[in-house]
């Protein structure tokens, strides 16, 4: 795997969103964990180091919650949940927590990733032992056994090599039974970080006396921290990479979250970086509208600088990039301790010489003699996050491509690095290699089809009833994609930038999606049914500048609806769009040079939501292609298949398992813009559709259409039903009526398909389950403590595999909560996996009805009720009850008459236990469903709560 960085050909324009300081987050979380009561930490850090700290604290029994954009920490004594506490790959967590672990009520062993077994921390362990911490390490490295008990205090000495050793001792000392004196021996390399620790300890009410030279600390015994509120300042260390990028290229970039104030007014140990880059000539100014930092210029040549690395100890990598391109020689003093970090950072940055720079080591100095240009090269990041990001920024200035090892190292400190760089137009992406990446992009797949099958049908646009059908060949689709891609470039669209479009199932949707992928932008499709409220929210979240809408669709005037949304560019299909595209003269070679890598972000899809605010789900191109390739193999789809797409292309089912699958397989796609069962049957028959993936209601309507027409779509051989569990009675009936395999499946926007049955499976497994794991996917069921359950037991359904999303846009805390400590996606579903590996989804965890401690098997009862001749649709939700906590309420749409007595009689005949019977019935015209067919039970729960409240007058 490599991080592929391409030379920037345009100015960098847009904004960087600066995250909260990871340094403050670490210290605040640890101090809050020991402060009785609740501490609110305002600002969320998604740095990998911080996530490891949170995970370790949770294993120690500390409750850490996410509340909007804040952490809530419920502090007190450590009551370990497990005897081992992992610090992951975070050295900071290791250094800080090893001593504090002695405050736990039971023994713990500190462990970490495998390479931590070679990380020597002997001086810290010796100092902790001198303070009275009872610990043991056979090698002076993890694993470290820590026994419970407060330290006794004492006079200890510690080398000033690493500030984290000093900070770890300081945070432990207030809990000692006697006074503590901590003295720093030798050169004190990173004093600013220790100063931060002292300031934060005082914020929690802990007292530390510091000598004038800052090398002796006296701490009173028996202190107790006080719960408080901590506001995390911006992370200057993360901002450094954005500032460096704007220093190398013409720029107009807002640094959102970084106030334009003097460096000394920013509470951050690396704040001096702002003064240094300003002295080098970077025009940092205040944005009038926000008061934040804005960098705007048409190109500058930086001045050289003299940097004492003790003031900005972790900034040598990124500043050496600027020094390499400054006019003159930049001198870095006191670099010896910089060679003791995650890697020898001085030696690592000497790799700039491979790019044409002129760096020289001279004793305890690093000299950067400025040059005018750089050339791309193959480099090592040494698995060091700061080295990786710094060399990547240098690569944006280098002619050609720069390729870096350990491409995901940035996640440990700045998980949004690639996304933020993409937001301002810089082309960075993770790929196995340049050749492989180029070979499997969707744009190159389309190029191949246009060359090998130029006149074969690619798209059949059925249009609305009465419209003339349109077709595109592969060559025509490729040409349209080129023209639209060129038009988007003329509008300033950059790699990694979302392009929003709210189009129905029509040929322009496909051409636009291919064009966006061709230039490395990100598809952000919006469902046509959405109105201004939802659209304005999603556009604001995506930060898209270009929106494409139809002139009209189903009686709505889309241009009028979006006129007041403040979009920079609105393109209207049906009103000048075709003419604008036709006028464009594409430069195919130039477009191919902009082709993204296979692992570039390609899709931003907002979940329709069954429980509240939509989430922006980000996927890479490789993930999308891998997901459909897995389904193609699982189902045995061939070049003779034809994909019918009635599901909205703006939803993952239509986008991925319709359009994207058809392009990857190289087969025609048949588009139906408005669902209608009889019309679908007619299109399937006329065009020979063989494969459909759609939600359960589509299946039911198609079965009804076949029953009424008395004729099948003879070519149809596979219908994959997704989005909601298929009632078993409907699946069995559909198999007979359609003469096709009805395959159950489970998938999510975040993970793509996880389980799927296949036509060759036993019939009861094909339509009677939610399938089995696709090749490469792992499935498990766990209890609430995270322990895997054996087959046949119901529990929390979790998925692991190669099709996971990048994360939720701007919501790292949601991403963290969605994934277990070992990387499994928590689906929120309850499931059973049988001995043969087949999954049965039994409903959402939040949909369980807990009747006085007895769990009602909601999915099973709903399945039974779907077999009642009067029931069209049924859903059971919990309603509040003062005695039992919850009771079951049935919402049903019916044909004919149905009352609660009949429901009870029906279930009694089928020997269903009485506690599982619904205790209230509400008849509705139809159940509220999202576009995937899932019942929006949160709306039903809200409705029954309102009804009960109105009835009792409360």
Which positions are annotated as active-site residues? Answer: 314
Question: What does residue 578 show for φ and ψ, rounded to 5 degrees?
Answer: -60, -40
- Cα separation, 137 vs 583, in Å, equals 72
Structure tokens at 626: 């891998």
Angle at 429 (CA atoms; ends 21, 25), nearest 5 degrees? 10
Q: Is 887 annotated as a binding residue?
A: no
Q: Is 22 annotated as a binding residue?
A: yes
Q: Is 341 annotated as a binding residue?
A: yes
Nearest to 546 by CA among 502, 582, 506: 502
Q: Is 386 annotated as a binding residue?
A: yes
Structure tokens at 663: 């392009």
Cα–Cα distances in angstroms (integers) from residue 344 to residues 338, 341, 383, 390, 403, in the given order: 7, 6, 11, 14, 20
Q: Is 852 annotated as a binding residue?
A: no
Q: Cis bond leading into 143, ω under 30°?
A: yes
Cα–Cα distances in angstroms (integers) from residue 583 to residues 488, 501, 576, 586, 587, in the given order: 13, 21, 11, 10, 13
3-state secondary structure 769-804: CCCEECCCCEEEEECCCCCECCCCCCEEEEEECCCC
Sheet holding 365-369, edge to edge: 306-308, 329-333, 365-369, 358-362
- Cα separation, 574 vs 854, in Å, equals 57
- Cα separation, 766 vs 634, in Å, equals 13
Q: Contact 280/427 with Cβ under 8 angstroms?
A: no
- Cα separation, 25 vs 48, in Å, equals 12
What distance, in Å, lies between the first and last C-alpha atoms of the chain?
A: 61
Structure tokens at 357: 């720079």
Chain position carrying tokens 């993409």: 422
Bridge-based pairing state of the strands 885-894 and 920-923: parallel
Inter-axis angle of helices 22-33 and 91-100, to 10 degrees?
Answer: 20
- Cα separation, 676 vs 68, in Å, equals 41
Nearest to 703 by CA among 688, 719, 691: 719
Q: Contact 820/798 with Cβ under 8 angstroms?
A: yes
Q: Is 119 annotated as a binding residue?
A: yes
Cα–Cα distances in angstroms (integers) from residue 872 to residues 460, 720, 739, in the given order: 33, 21, 23
- Cα separation, 926 vs 746, in Å, equals 24
- Cα separation, 42 vs 24, in Å, equals 11
- Cα separation, 156 vs 530, in Å, equals 65
Q: Is 361 annotated as a binding residue?
A: no
CB count in 10 Å sphere of residue 560: 9
Q: Contact 847/877 with Cβ under 8 angstroms?
A: yes
Q: What residues form the annotated binding site for phosphoenolpyruvate?
A: 22, 91, 119, 164, 345, 386
Q: What residues form the annotated binding site for 3-phosphoshikimate?
A: 22, 27, 163-164, 314, 341
Q: What residues form the annotated binding site?
A: 22, 27, 91, 119, 163-164, 314, 341, 345, 386
């Amino acid at each position: 795997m490599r991080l592929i960085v391409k030379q920037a050909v345009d100015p960098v324009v847009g904004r960087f969103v600066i995250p909260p300081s990871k340094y403050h987050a670490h210290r605040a979380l640890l101090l809050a964990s020991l402060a009785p009561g609740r501490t609110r930490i305002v600002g969320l850090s998604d740095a990998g180091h911080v996530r490891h700290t949170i995970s370790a604290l949770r294993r120690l029994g500390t409750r850490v919650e996410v509340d909007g954009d804040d952490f809530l920490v419920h502090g007190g004594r450590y009551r370990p949940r497990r005897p081992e506490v992992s610090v992951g790959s975070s050295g900071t967590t290791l250094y800080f927590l090893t001593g504090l672990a002695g405050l736990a009520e039971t023994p713990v062993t500190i462990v970490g990733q495998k390479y931590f077994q070679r990380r020597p921390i002997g001086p810290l362990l010796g100092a902790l032992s001198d303070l009275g911490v009872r610990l043991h390490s056979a090698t002076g490295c993890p694993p470290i056994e820590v026994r419970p008990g407060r330290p006794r205090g004492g006079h200890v000495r510690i080398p000033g090599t690493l500030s984290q050793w000093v900070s770890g001792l300081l945070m432990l000392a207030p809990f000692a039974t006697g006074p503590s004196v901590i003295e720093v021996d030798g050169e004190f390399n990173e004093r600013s970080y220790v100063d931060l620790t002292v300031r934060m300890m005082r914020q929690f009410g802990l007292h530390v006396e510091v000598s004038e030279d800052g090398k002796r600390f006296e701490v009173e015994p028996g202190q107790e921290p006080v719960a408080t509120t901590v506001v995390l300042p911006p992370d200057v260390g993360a901002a450094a990479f954005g500032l460096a990028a704007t220093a190398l290229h013409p720029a107009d970039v807002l640094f959102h979250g970084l106030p334009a104030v003097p460096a000394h007014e920013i509470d951050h140990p690396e704040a001096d970086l702002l003064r240094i880059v300003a002295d080098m000539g970077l025009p940092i100014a205040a944005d009038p509208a926000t008061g934040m930092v804005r960098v705007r210029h048409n190109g500058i040549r930086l001045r050289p600088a003299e940097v004492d690395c003790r003031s900005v100890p972790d900034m040598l990598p990124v500043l050496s990039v600027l020094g390499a391109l400054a006019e003159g020689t930049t001198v870095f003093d006191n670099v010896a301790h910089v060679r003791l970090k995650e890697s020898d950072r001085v030696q690592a940055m000497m790799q700039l010489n491979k790019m044409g720079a002129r760096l020289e080591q001279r004793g305890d100095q690093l000299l950067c003699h400025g040059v005018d240009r750089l050339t791309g090269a193959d480099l090592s990041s040494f698995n060091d996050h700061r080295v990786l990001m710094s060399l990547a920024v240098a690569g944006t200035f280098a002619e050609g491509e720069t390729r870096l090892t350990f491409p995901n190292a940035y996640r440990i400190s700045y998980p949004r690095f690639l996304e933020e760089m993409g937001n301002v137009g810089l082309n960075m992406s993770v790929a196995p290699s340049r050749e492989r990446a180029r070979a499997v992009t969707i744009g190159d797949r389309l190029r191949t089809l246009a060359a090998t099958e130029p006149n074969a049908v690619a798209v059949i646009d059925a249009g609305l009833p009465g419209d003339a059908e349109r077709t595109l060949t592969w060559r025509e689709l490729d040409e349209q994609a080129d023209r639209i891609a060129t038009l988007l470039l003329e509008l300033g669209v950059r790699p990694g930038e979302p392009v929003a479009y709210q189009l129905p199932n029509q040929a322009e949707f496909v051409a636009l999606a291919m064009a966006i992928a061709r230039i490395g932008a990100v598809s952000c499709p919006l469902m046509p049914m959405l109105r201004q409220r939802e659209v304005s929210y999603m556009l604001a979240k995506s930060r898209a500048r270009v929106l494409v809408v139809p002139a009209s669709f189903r009686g709505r005037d889309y241009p009028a609806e979006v006129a007041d949304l403040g979009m920079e560019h609105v393109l209207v299909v049906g009103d000048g769009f075709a003419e604008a595209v036709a006028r464009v003269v594409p430069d195919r070679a130039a477009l191919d040079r902009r082709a993204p890598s296979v692992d570039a972000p390609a899709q931003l899809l907002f979940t329709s939501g069954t429980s509240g605010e939509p989430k922006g789900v980000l996927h890479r191109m490789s993930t999308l292609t891998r997901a459909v390739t897995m389904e193609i193999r699982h189902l045995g789809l061939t070049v003779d298949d034809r994909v019918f797409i009635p599901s909205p292309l703006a939803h993952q089912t239509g986008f991925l398992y319709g359009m994207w699958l058809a392009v990857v397989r190289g087969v025609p796609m048949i588009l139906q813009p408005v669902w209608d069962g009889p019309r679908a049957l007619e299109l399937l028959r006329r065009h020979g559709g063989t494969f459909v993936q759609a939600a359960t209601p589509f299946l039911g309507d198609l079965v009804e259409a076949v029953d009424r027409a008395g004729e099948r779509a003879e070519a149809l051989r596979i219908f994959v039903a997704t989005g909601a569990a298929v009632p078993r009675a409907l699946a069995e009936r559909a198999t007979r009526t359609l003469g096709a395999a009805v395959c159950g499946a489970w998938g999510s926007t975040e993970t793509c398909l996880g389980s799927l049955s296949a036509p060759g499976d036993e019939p009861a497994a094909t339509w009677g389950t939610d399938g089995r794991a696709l090749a490469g996917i792992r499935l498990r069921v766990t209890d609430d403590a995270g322990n895997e359950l054996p087959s046949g037991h119901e529990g929390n359904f979790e998925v692991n595999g190669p099709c996971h999303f990048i994360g939720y846009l701007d919501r790292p805390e949601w991403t963290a909560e969605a994934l277990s400590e070992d990387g499994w996606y928590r689906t929120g579903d309850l499931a059973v996996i049988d001995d043969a590996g087949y999954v049965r989804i039994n409903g959402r965890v939040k949909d369980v009805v807990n009747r006085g401690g007895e769990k009602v098997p909601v999915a099973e009862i709903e399945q039974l009720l779907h077999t009642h001749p009067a029931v069209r649709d049924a859903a059971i939700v919990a309603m509040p009850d003062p005695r039992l906590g919850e009771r079951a309420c049935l919402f049903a749409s019916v044909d004919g008459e149905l009352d609660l007595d009949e429901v009870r009689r029906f279930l009694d005949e089928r020997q269903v236990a009485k506690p599982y019977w619904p205790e209230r019935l509400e008849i509705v015209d139809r159940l509220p469903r999202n576009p995937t067919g899932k019942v929006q039970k949160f709306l039903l729960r809200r409705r029954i709560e309102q009804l009960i409240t109105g009835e009792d007058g409360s």
